[in-house]
Amino acid sequence: MCGIVAILDIAGDAAKLRTEVLAMARRLRHRGPDWSGIAVYDNAVIGHERLAIVGVDSGAQPLYSNNRQVALGVNGEIYNHSNLRQNLASNYSFQTHSDCEVILALYEQQGADNAQVWLNELNGMFAFVLYDDEQKRYLIARDPIGIIPLYYGRDDQGRLYVASEMKSLVDHCQTVSSFPPGHYLDSTNGEIKAYYQPQWREVEQSQQAYDPKALREGLESAVKRQMMGDVPYGVLLSGGLDSSLVAAIAQRYAERRVDTDDQEAAWWPRLHSFAIGLKGSPDLAASRVAADRLGTAHHEFEFTLDEGLDALSDVIYHIETYDVTTIRASTPMFLLARRIRAMGIKMVLSGEGSDELFGGYLYFHKAPNAQAFHEETVRKVGKLHLFDCLRANKSMAAWGVEVRVPFLDLPFVDMAMQMNAEHKMTGPERMEKHVLRQAFDGYLPDSILWRQKEQFSDGVGYGWIDALKDHAEANVSDRQLADAAQRFPVNPPQSKEAYWYRTIFEQHFPSAAAAATVPGGPSVACSTPAALEWDRAFAEMADPSGRAVRDVHSQSL
């Protein structure tokens, strides 16, 4: 994980903005503590804070073309870079071992005018700024799902600012926005355009039949691709289905990755797994069962309610949101990331994205038909960059740890979203994500393979959410909540817990522009607002916890 910052459309002496970019980059150094770099041209300044994962010996950024007329600042990983390198090497002289240098090669060979085409050749998570000094032209792009964060805004002189996190922009820009996933900006026209336009977004219902073997092989390939790296890595293992499947697959490949003739092989064959929770939490117990079966080097960490509450201000500063469910889940993840980095691990694999692809949240039990089910998964995948991807990326990056999400590997996303939702539908005899569970029969103990969905903020211990609500009740008055819309006209909080988080967010980011970057709207068990229509009772229990689905969750609220 890295951090990028840039100032573009500069009129005047760009060198005078060097100090400003360095200060902006310093706010992102937690994302990339290994090295800093900066490129200064007449019309652009690009800064970079590096977390070295691939090509640690030669991948310092910004990266440059051979004539140094083109500079590239990237945050991310390109998982198919080896194949792209082989295809591009005949016409491009690679200077580093960085996976991200293939972006420069694609640009050099195909040009900015064809960006809409060659961006789709990249399989990875990324956000980048590319500046061509010869053409006085720049490109900005973000990966199709939005796994990597990216923000942009303009100052009162019309200069364009870009950064991995909002905190680097708010003191300089009049407006700040999240750069949309799957889009790019070419300075020649100044328009943000989509390059990623999968068919499954447009159809009312996908028609692909369920093929358990293809599904299994697809996820195995995704995990294997994302294990690339030159540093120690691990897996997050909550004991839920998704993280356990990723861990099971990673363990199988970790045992084979000891052949020194294999360029993608790691030189530390033992896979480490990590879990966190309150004492006696469901996740800690389940993760222990999974780890014992898989044979990982497992590490459990307990946190106390006071430790979680004490961390909240730092959590909100780093994740840059006041969304209730995101903060609930981000706090234990933030605490876990610190322990992981202290053990020398710089990259972890995680299970984010599965629930969006397969309708794994418990409210999907209420979907009235396959079309509604599919449309909700499309909405959920489209909002991942505002919720789960944001949480996972920023919680881990706060301590210089990169998180990778194999379920969101593009070929697997397409496979999952093209599956007829009739196969994904739940019912009395069909548990949520049953297609995944059936496809991986034998990979995990049955108690894990068929464990009911627990949202991370629930699984770390039900007392965590209860403590947050109790603290908010004790510290936010009825009058304050009643007047919330006057104090917070942008997305006014609807509960005392939400009000409390909003006040902390305002302390760090007081501008209306910052507040507008956070999504709003009612939710039950992480649903989109549209899904509230599925059950009348949802209006009475609108809480993002999975326990809000009272007749589905075994420990409902």
Residues taking part in catalysis: 2
**DSSP for 325-362, written as a single string:** HHHHHHHHHHHHHHHHHHTT--EEE--TTHHHHHT-SG
Backbone dihedral region for residue 316 (phi beyond 0: left; psi -120 to 50: alpha; all else: beta): alpha
* Structure tokens that stand for 189 in this block: 């026209």
Residue 289 CA neighbour count, 13 Å, CB half: 17
- How far is 224 from 365, CA to CA, in rounded Å? 32
Quick check: 343 and 272 in contact, CB under 8 A? yes
Quick check: 462 and 555 in contact, CB under 8 A? yes
Q: Helices in 94-138 by DSSP H: which ranges? A: 101-110, 115-118
Q: Which amino acid, one-letter code, is at 504?
A: I
Q: Which of 113, 122, 169 minimizes the C-alpha distance to 145? A: 122
Coil, strand or helix: which one is 273?
strand
Beta strand pairing status for 45-50 and 35-40? Answer: antiparallel
Is 364 exposed, middle or buried, given 0-12, 13-18 or 19+ CB atoms closer than 10 A? buried
